Structure 1
Amino acid sequence: MTGSNGHDVTIVDACTRRGEGGSPTAVLADDIALSDSTRRAIVRQAGTSHAAFVDARAGTTPTVRFFTAQGELTNCGHGTIAAQAFLLHRRRAREHRARQRTGGRTFDTTAIRRDDGIEVWFDQGTVELQGCAAAGLDGILAALGIRPDDMATDDSPCVASPGTPRLLLPVAALPTLLSMRPDLRRLAAECRRLGYLGCFVYTLSPTRGAAAARMFAPAIGVGEDIVNANSTGCLAAHLFATHRDSSIEVEQGHTAGRPSSVFATATATREGISARVGGMATIRSGSNGAASGEAP
């Protein structure tokens, strides 16, 4: 679609589940002459929570910047999946193994055209993990509207950072997760006070290697994120560190009516625990109007 500002914007549904749902993400070729205020305005006009601005000049590693209507993000997992699907689609290729530069880091990416969309994986890098002090948890739980006895007894809250810290919060039961109605203003204040991007609340499935989750990030202007791929990578790192699983599929987006899936694997490296994150993407609208599952 072409907005009133004259910029061609492609809407990519990132992290779809069985070809449906996913997080609508605006993707467009970046113009270095754009001001950051214009980039924020483009996000508002697109009506998405995030936008990826892709600078893919010939002969260079694509640089991708991510914005919400409130400001720039250091990185964005589902935005990376959307950006790499956009690049594969624009190149009319079947498969592309490349690199992306975001937030001062350059990392490997893979995009492959499948029958039901474009499968994208990226190297999230090292995830730093640390425990969460009980004293800092009371305000978060109150803002989320849950009680200490709603928490999982076989898991513990964890602060995880692939570059920006967020709280991973395990609850015992799926109904608790789905019924949460946080006080977003209070949660934003608590997250800012503690230095968290947001809260990734999850419950592990009885099925090994599966979970459901919701991400609340009002401190950066996103009340509830339909999908948060980076937090899924963080969860994979946490589960690996606590000797549970090395890979995970996390279902998200159900409360928004947009069922979504993110995949992640974790491994030990010299630098620490590293994660790789993946998901499916569909090109929903754009200047050429084609769908990502179509042959080039």
Structure 2
Amino acid sequence: MPEVAIVDACQRGRRGGSPTAVLNDAPLTDEERCRIPAELGTSHAVFLRATGTEHGRPSYALRFFTVAGELPACGHGTVAALALLAEREGADDYRAVLRTAHRSFDGRAVRDGDGLTASFDPGPVSLRHAPGPEVEAVAGGIGLPGEAVAGDAWVASNGRPRLLLPVRSRAVLADLAPDFTLLRAACDRYGLLGCYVHSLPDRHGRAAARMFVPSIGVPEDIANANGTACLAAAAAGSGTDHLTVDMGDHLGCPATVTATVRHQGLQRRILVGGQAAVTRTVGC
């Protein structure tokens, strides 16, 4: 079994973050891959395989697993992978081409003092207004009264659809007590990965969020970069092009994800990421 690095992804002020197992790929069964996050106490495991060079940069294939199986993408897992690759290279400004099952994209990790900040392009985001029955079913699963919903809910996807559900305040967000059986049933019924519940961004683009994804074996994510990218796509419609989203406080692991929207003609390009640090290495 290869050595496993534990990377705290999407930290806040160089603390907290989502512990993520990152290791070189090996001839393992998918069942064995699913055991690694369970054995190491992480929500996800990322498997790296070098594939040569592309556009003059190193290229790697990434695979992501939770205890429940393989995922097509994982935002904070991508941040963790970039941080580990930059540490291995000893680079102050590391760039690579990353491949998942469905796409390739650029990633970057920049050294900032004694830590790293990683970012990547999560791909285009599709948005549609969420119909009432969908919102009511998911809101019931997270214990959210209808009057606490603050504005339009969206179904957003940059790979798998999720519900973006705005609430009136950080206090409402902190008080959520999901029934994960009900929530999973509602998400499965409507084909949703999960529910990204967020406060409304302030005038500086700062917000808080909680991401519930019981269908993939992770009741609540400490940090969810792809969900934050989806929120950035929705917020760009009202003129907010930079988001700083706090997550993980309810789980005792403060995390922050940033997302920036860059306008290129009629197109929008999103960069999402956060601080990360390799905290330890272990053998399985």
Normalising by the smaller structure, the TM-score range is: over 0.9
Question: Number of matched residues?
Answer: 279
1:281 to 259, 263, 276: 276
How far apart are 1:276 and its partner, in Å? 1.1
Deviates more, 1:226-235 or 1:50-59: 50-59
2:42 to 44, 48, 72: 48
2:223 to 221, 227, 252: 227
Q: Trace 1:164-183 onto structure 2 (pairs within 5 A).
A: 164-183=160-179
1:198 to 194, 217, 221: 194
Equivalent AA in structure 2 for residue 103 of structure 1: A
How far apart are 1:57 and its partner, in Å? 4.7
Equivalent AA in structure 2 for residue 127 of structure 1: V
Distance 1:177 1:240 in 2: 22
Distance 1:268 1:134 in 2: 31
TM-score normalized by structure 1?
A: 0.90
Distance 1:206 1:272 in 2: 25
How far apart are 1:206 and its partner, in Å? 3.3
How far apart are 1:187 and its partner, in Å? 0.3
Distance 2:251 2:265 in 1: 39
Which residue of 1 is the match for residue 246 of structure 2?
251
How far apart are 1:244 and its partner, in Å? 3.2
SS at match of 1:124: coil
Distance 1:26 1:177 in 2: 28
Which residue of 2 is the match for residue 114 of structure 1?
112
Which residue of 1 is the match for residue 185 of structure 2?
189
Which residue of 2 is the match for residue 99 of structure 1?
97
Q: Is the 8 A contact 2:201 2:243 kept in 1?
A: no
1:7 to 2, 9, 14: 2
Which residue of 2 is the match for residue 3 of structure 1?
none
Distance 2:267 2:103 in 1: 17
1:87 to 85, 98, 114: 85
Q: Is the 8 A contact 2:117 2:273 kept in 1?
A: yes
SS at match of 1:61: strand
Unaligned runs of 5+ in 2: none
Equivalent AA in structure 2 for residue 47 of structure 1: G
How far apart are 1:123 and its partner, in Å? 0.7
| Runs (4+) off by over 6 Å | none
Unaligned runs of 5+ in 1: 1-5, 289-296
Q: Is the 8 A contact 1:164 1:197 kept in 2?
A: yes
Deviates more, 1:124-133 or 1:51-60: 51-60
Distance 1:122 1:94 in 2: 16
Distance 1:110 1:82 in 2: 11
Going by fraction, where is strand more abundant, 1 or 2? Answer: 2
SS at match of 1:251: strand
Distance 2:75 2:200 in 1: 21
Q: Is residue 156 from structure 1 mapped to residue 172 from structure 2 by the alignment?
A: no
Distance 1:36 1:193 in 2: 26
How far apart are 1:270 and its partner, in Å? 7.3
Tell me how large the CA RMSD over aligned residues is.
1.6
- 1:57-115 C-alpha deviation (Å, 9 max, x unpaired): 54462001000011000100000000010111112222212210012200011111111
Q: Trace 1:3-42 onto structure 2 (pairs within 5 A).
A: 6-31=1-26, 33-42=27-36
Deviates more, 1:211-220 or 1:270-279: 270-279
Deviates more, 1:14-23 or 1:131-140: 131-140
CA 1:245–1:188 in 2, change beyond 3 Å: closer, same or farther? same
Distance 1:174 1:249 in 2: 14
How far apart are 1:174 and its partner, in Å? 1.2
Distance 1:270 1:205 in 2: 25
Which residue of 1 is the match for residue 233 of structure 2?
237
How far apart are 1:273 and its partner, in Å? 3.9
Deviates more, 1:190-199 or 1:109-118: 109-118
